[in-house]
Structure 1
Amino acid sequence: MKIDVLVAEIGSTTTVINAFRGIGSPCPEFLGQGQAPTSVLAGDVTIGLKGAIDDLKYNLKAHDIIYDEMLATSSAAGGLRMTVHGLVYDMTVRAAKEAALGAGGIIKMVTSGKLRRTDLKKVKDINPNIILIAGGVDYGERETALYNMEQLVSLGLDIPIIYAGNIENQEEAAEICEDAGVKLYLVDNVYPKVDILNVEPTRKVIQDVFEEHIIHAPGMSTVREMVTGPIIPTPGAVMEAAKLLKDELGDLVIFDVGGATTDVHSVTEGSEEINKMLISPEPYAKRTVEGDLGVFVNINHIVEKIGLEELEDEFSNVEELIENAKPIPETEEEKRFIERLTKEAVLTALERHAGTLRYIYGPTGKKTIAEGKDLTNIKYIIGTGGALTRLPNRVEILKSAADDGRGLELYPGNDAQVLIDNHYIFASLGVLSKKYPEDALKLMKNSLNIK
């Protein structure tokens, strides 16, 4: 069978392969999907990739598959592990963190101010894929970022560094890294002026660096030879899809509830009224990752949050359901139980992602301020990932995200429309959009059942 583009999603546990035909034509088509265990533990992720292709052949009833291009996303080998180091936590550190998360990074450590000996030991233990250093508005404080860079390169780790701080430091930063033989990427300041975020240039460089250094996972060097286009972090690919879709449909938020984490991606500038009240800037495209909200690996965290007693009122066999939880629920009772956990994951992740209004009192009386991301202008609430594309009551779960506010939360309104990534291909389309944006957009709308 002739296929135009294959897109591989190489996860920590499962590798998925999606097949597309008609790329470059007026009617691009999603043909089907195959999957297999990722096989990191076997020492070669290409085993899982070839297994997924074999499964795709079986699903398409094809004797053989011939493809023109292969693209890929990856979260294998722990994904894109990063440490982030800035000056003031609420300013440059937060800006750098937003850039890293939006690019698909898994942030293992965040520090503000000068690094201590214990901080350096933790960085060494984490052994990140990328180190991101920021600090100081342009033409502001210089010393902290340069001190941190000197300390980090002294560790002797073969880890690329991205510098996204005060532009006055760029020349000196380059000299420090050159003397130490460390690969350095210079990028515009993530926080160039007070109350101004500039995260997109850093996001792009993070994805470029990830692709260049992707061979950390066993067998990924072979995958790099098989892949003809970019390899980007899977969560970053979902963000690329979200930004492309926002330009077509309007403001949106995407929920991805998985076995280990729940990711939320929102693309919105918020309302003009709320923007006037904001006490600190928020990125146009924001991603949050909740590492304790997974419906399989982290099932006990969600059970504890809901409360065992409350679940026992709803399910007569709770302990059995917890003990025998599967990555994919099979019986009606198992599905109903996972739906309950998924709803809790969605609402908790929403609470952590969205901002709130707050009242402060001063000499002139009560004043209303806004903190965090404003979702009040959201037009579409979208579900992707295993749980929110496969569970029977997925639409009702997502509708609860618009119904849950109690007045001060900056949540989507009741008029927000719920859409589902029915083909479960948003991550694949995010990487496809890097080369074929028009085709990716058409395929996204098809998956969402938008005519």
Structure 2
Amino acid sequence: MMLDLLFAEIGSTTTVVTAFHNLDGNVKIVGQGEHWTTVNEGDVTIGIERAIGKLKEKIGEKKLTWDKFAASSSAAGGLKMTVHGLVYDMTVRAAREAALGAGAVIKYITAGKMDDFHIKKIKEIQPKLILLAGGVDYGEKETVIHNAKVLSKLDLDIPIIYAGNVAVAEQVEYILKNSGKTVFITENVYPKIDQLNVEPTRNIIKEIFAQHITKAPGMEKIYEIVDYNIHTTPGAVMRTTQLLSEIYEDVLTIDIGGATTDVDSVTEGSNEIQELMIAPEPKAKRTVEGDLGLFVNAHNVIKLIGEENLKLEFPNLSELKTRISPYPKTDEDEKFIAKLALYCFQQGIRRHVGIKKHIYTPLGRKVIAEGKDLTAIKFLFGTGGFLSRSKYAPQVLKSINNLSKLHPMDLLPQNKVKIFRDKYYIFAAIGVISTEIDKDFGKKILEKDIEEIGG
């Protein structure tokens, strides 16, 4: 059988391949195959080949060929980054938003002048990319020049992005290139007070990831089989969320994985809350909760919920803990995973959103708001193995409509939200297809994929 496109999502736990045909017509999602990710075996393509084998079995084809092959990855530790800026609430926060939105895993953040201790920490982390920012355009220069000089002493072969004060961009480039560093100069992430400009930096991060992913252990052979740039899986899911926003406007996507829970939102928020805001937020925002996951981090989620609380519903908790797997074997196992997923879902969203606060001024008590405003969200999309496939996913997703009553000071969706799920578990594929091949193809596949499950 000949396919138009084969797509591999190489996750930290599993690798899923999806077959697409007739992309430029009545697009067909032919089938999927899945296998454990084989980064630890030294070659990620082993897992891809085994997943293709499973796909052949499922669709009853002995021979499978394809015109194009595309991929996204969060394996091999993902895109580890460090971020360095001037003031935490301004340039550092803007740089962090840019990095997270591109699908990065931020391992270390500094604000202000760097020193030898910071260099020591960066060496220990061994990031794949460094983001240097600092100062509004034509504002403070000294700190970012100082930090460029400190980073020039770093004896690691790591690309550095500069997204700070435009007035010293050439000087920073000169300092870093003179010490043999690979440097990418882009627009300032925080060009003016209270103005974020994260998209140019996000785009450069995605490009660098595509160029450098082959250096990750076990990932070296990936470019032998792909026809397009490899994207970070979280970055690809964010791209799909942005695509959804072109159709539905104010949207929220939650992806509960084996290791992390990612939340993506695209919304300006409500006018009422915007008037109370004390600092800007990006329209498209991603947060990643590295302690909330259903496989790698399941034991951490159990600890956060509390074993005594779980035993009230699951008296055989000790036994269930030994059977945790991305592929639950019994209904009880799946119910238990659903309980963990509910916690990941609600905590992931609550950590993503901002809050209203009361402050006291000489004129009396005043209400302010800070953080991401989701009060205007009207559509929720669930993705990831559990939310795409489990029969218990609808009850987890529908819990969004009670959250604002339980937490009235959080900037949560206020009206009844329409709920959909990524039925075929292909949001990452759609993000890559819409970026690398054709946006309209991506939208066509979305129409086939998303399934309304109520509100």
Q: Tell me the TM-score range normalised by the shorter chain.
A: over 0.9
| 1:77–1:216 contact (8 Å) kept in structure 2 | no
Residues 89 and 106 of structure 1: is their aligned pair in 2 closer, same or farther, counting only changes over 3 Å? same
Deviation at 1:52, TM superposition (A): 1.8
| 2:209–2:231 contact (8 Å) kept in structure 1 | yes
1:442 partner letter: K
| 1:45–1:217 contact (8 Å) kept in structure 2 | no
Deviation at 1:372, TM superposition (A): 0.6
Secondary structure at the aligned position of 1:449 is classed as strand
| 1:402–1:411 contact (8 Å) kept in structure 2 | no
CA-based RMSD of the aligned residues comes to 1.3
| 1:133–1:162 contact (8 Å) kept in structure 2 | yes
Structure 1 residue ranges without an equivalent (≥5): none
Structure 2 residue ranges without an equivalent (≥5): none
Match of 1:447 in 2: 449
Match of 2:23 in 1: 23
Match of 2:163 in 1: 164
Deviation at 1:300, TM superposition (A): 2.2
Match of 2:341 in 1: 342
Deviation at 1:273, TM superposition (A): 1.4
State the distance in 2 between where 1:338 and 1:413 align.
Answer: 28
Deviations 1:202-242 (A, max 9, x none): 00000001111111224534321321112110100000000
Secondary structure at the aligned position of 2:399 is classed as helix
Deviation at 1:396, TM superposition (A): 1.5
Question: What's the % identity of the aligned pairs?
Answer: 49
Question: Is 1:365 paired with 2:367?
Answer: no
Match of 1:426 in 2: 427
Match of 1:438 among 440, 444, 448: 440
| 1:267–1:285 contact (8 Å) kept in structure 2 | yes
Secondary structure at the aligned position of 1:182 is classed as coil
Deviations 1:369-427 (A, max 9, x none): 11110111111111100111122221121111221123221111341111011100001
| 1:237–1:429 contact (8 Å) kept in structure 2 | yes
Match of 2:14 in 1: 14
State the distance in 2 between where 1:142 and 1:124 align.
Answer: 26
2:120 partner letter: K
Deviation at 1:323, TM superposition (A): 2.7
State the distance in 1 between where 2:321 and 2:21 align.
Answer: 41
Match of 2:5 in 1: 5
State the distance in 1 between where 2:15 and 2:324 align.
Answer: 21
1:20 partner letter: F
Match of 1:202 in 2: 201
State the distance in 2 between where 1:252 and 1:346 align.
Answer: 16
2:440 partner letter: E
Match of 1:291 in 2: 290
Stretch moving more, 185-194 or 45-54: 45-54
2:57 partner letter: Y
Stretch moving more, 251-260 or 387-396: 387-396
Aligned residues: 449
State the distance in 1 between where 2:130 and 2:219 align.
Answer: 21
Deviation at 1:49, TM superposition (A): 1.7
Deviations 1:86-122 (A, max 9, x none): 1100110010000000000000111111113221111
Question: Is 1:220 paired with 2:219?
Answer: yes
| 2:131–2:161 contact (8 Å) kept in structure 1 | yes
State the distance in 1 between where 2:2 and 2:218 align.
Answer: 26
| 2:382–2:421 contact (8 Å) kept in structure 1 | yes
State the distance in 2 between where 1:315 and 1:12 align.
Answer: 28
Deviation at 1:12, TM superposition (A): 2.6
TM-score by length of 1: 0.97
Q: How does 1:85-96 map to 2 (within 5 A)?
A: 85-96=84-95
Deviation at 1:266, TM superposition (A): 0.6
